[in-house]
Chains A and B, each alone.
Chain A
């Protein structure tokens, strides 16, 4: 009674696992810290404060980045409390039918809601832009922000949709054969951004498939 073929258990259309042999660090821990501090300042500058800012991280690593940005905004704006949440976009993905149904991540919308707020979406890597499109659709079902902006740690190019980031930690020119992997202390024990070629055999690669 099982679906024929395709029993490898791999996910997604785009294998994104990094071949460890080719991986080289492009950002280290202090680079990431500086980038986040700069982005926090830019957000405050453009929004003229942080009063109505709501940070929504896209799981998994965007959530930790959003939390870190929230702490920095609070210290820049003298203890202003910036709401931080998480926005899972799984149910809005346009590639759901290309693989088995995926497990969901947590969505946590801050109690203040997003109506009339300046929502800053936070993600680790901006690539095709499809994740952000899905995030915009998801936001639409949750409320009506005053404006939506996008902050990413790494912009690796190769957009497939008319989407750009408002705040970029680092612009990283890549080829499509390459893949970018963000490590964060909250999940991986250390901070680093690695660039390398994709693992040769996607079917044999471990399951965590992010950017």
Chain B
């Protein structure tokens, strides 16, 4: 690709499969007594988090450390400087410190794109979630989990039926997942109340439904999205109880799934809201597994971006331009 990972749309099918295959090999490292590889010795990875996060930051930190990179955690919370200026100054500081990669989470959609396109940094930029735009490594770890559970850990997800349910409007996880899953050949259905679907969703490579019961019996995986109360400053649904009844995954709905189907959630969960506690704790739930897989997938991304003298992901000619349009349009 690209020196950066900003959007799941940056990844070709071959890139995505290379990342998943690499992650599959790196997953074995976790079973060893010494969970460390020397590959990124002397490289510096900066975790630049403008927004709260536990699992993503810890996951990136663990991934970088297992590859022997030096990790600097930069929590920019509380910064009152306006977005453009603060980002630029921060970027120049990181450049001066010799950051080889910057993992950025930002509340503003498009911040990682700005950072990558500005020329402020020579290193790679990895998007760890920007506003309501994208979260590509989450999509990769979700695809990794699905591939392990549904496709024997190999190849793509051709023909698998994946249902994403809930707050699509505020969900960067949903957008990245839809793009990546389409690249990998899966058939994606989004289920949400009309108020929680973004404008332009009809152009996404997926089908949309307002009824959760219909797609469940033929789903291979159901992913419940968190209802993002912190981003909701308007009334998107009448009551939480009504939302939960119409769009929550409870035991009755889980029973409608095929035998092999898995239940996913990117976390953090609102137990009892979008997912019932019994469902979250059932054997079909891959929620804890997703966290474990996150480290392997992020190791693969960091290795492929930083391990050589240039990124291993696909040829520059195909991937360098199209990101601009998609990202600008989501701001």
Contacts and interface: CB of A to CB of B under 8 A. Distances in A.
Interface of A: 1-3, 6-7, 9, 88, 91-92, 96-107, 137, 141-143
B20 to A, nearest CB: 11
Contact of A3 (B26, B33, B311): B311
B60 to A, nearest CB: 18
A69 B32 CA distance: 26
B37 A91 contact: yes
Interface residues of B, number: 33
11 contacts: A1-B2, A7-B317, A91-B38, A91-B307, A96-B308, A100-B310, A102-B308, A104-B25, A105-B25, A107-B25, A137-B38
Contacts of A100: 308-312
A106 B25 contact: yes
A66 B314 CA distance: 33
A86 B38 CA distance: 19
B4 A1 contact: yes
Given A1-B117, A91-B39, A137-B38, A99 B309 contact: yes
Interface string B189-219: 0000000000000000000000000000000
Given A2-B320, A3-B310, A143-B33, A104 B3 contact: no
* Across the A-B interface, the 4 shortest Cβ-Cβ residue pairs: A2-B316, A101-B307, A101-B308, A101-B312
B34 interface: yes
B38 A107 contact: no
A142 B32 contact: yes
Contacts of B307: 91, 96, 101-102
A107 B3 contact: no
B303 interface: yes
Contacts of B22: 103-104
A101 B21 contact: no
B287 interface: no
A101 B303 contact: yes
A1 B116 contact: yes
Given A96-B307, A103-B22, A2 B3 contact: yes
Contact of A1 (B37, B312, B315, B320): B320
B304 interface: yes
A96 B39 CA distance: 8
Interface of B: 1-4, 18, 21-22, 25-26, 28, 32-34, 36-39, 116-117, 303-312, 315-317, 320
- The secondary structure that dominates the A interface is loop
Contacts of A3: 3, 309-311, 316
Contacts of A88: 25
Contact of A6 (B116, B310, B312): B310
B201 to A, nearest CB: 28
Nearest to B124: A1
Contacts of B39: 91-92, 96
Contact of B32 (A97, A102, A141): A141
Contacts of B312: 100-103
Given A1-B4, A2-B320, 20 more contacts: A1-B3, A1-B116, A2-B316, A3-B309, A3-B311, A3-B316, A7-B315, A91-B39, A91-B307, A92-B39, A96-B308, A98-B308, A98-B309, A101-B305, A104-B26, A137-B38, A141-B32, A141-B34, A142-B32, A142-B34
B309 A103 contact: no
Contacts of B33: 142-143
Contacts of A137: 38
A103 B2 CA distance: 17
Contacts of B308: 96-102
B173 to A, nearest CB: 24
B45 to A, nearest CB: 15
A102 B117 CA distance: 26
Nearest to B304: A101
Contact of B21 (A9, A103, A142): A103
A119 to B, nearest CB: 15
A204 B242 CA distance: 63
A3 B305 CA distance: 11
Given A7-B316, A99-B308, A101-B311, A2 B2 contact: yes
Contacts of A142: 32-34
A183 to B, nearest CB: 25
Contact of A104 (B4, B21, B36): B21
A97 B4 CA distance: 18
Contacts of A107: 25, 28
Contacts of A143: 33
Contacts of A9: 315
A99 B303 CA distance: 13
Nearest to A137: B38
A101 B67 CA distance: 13
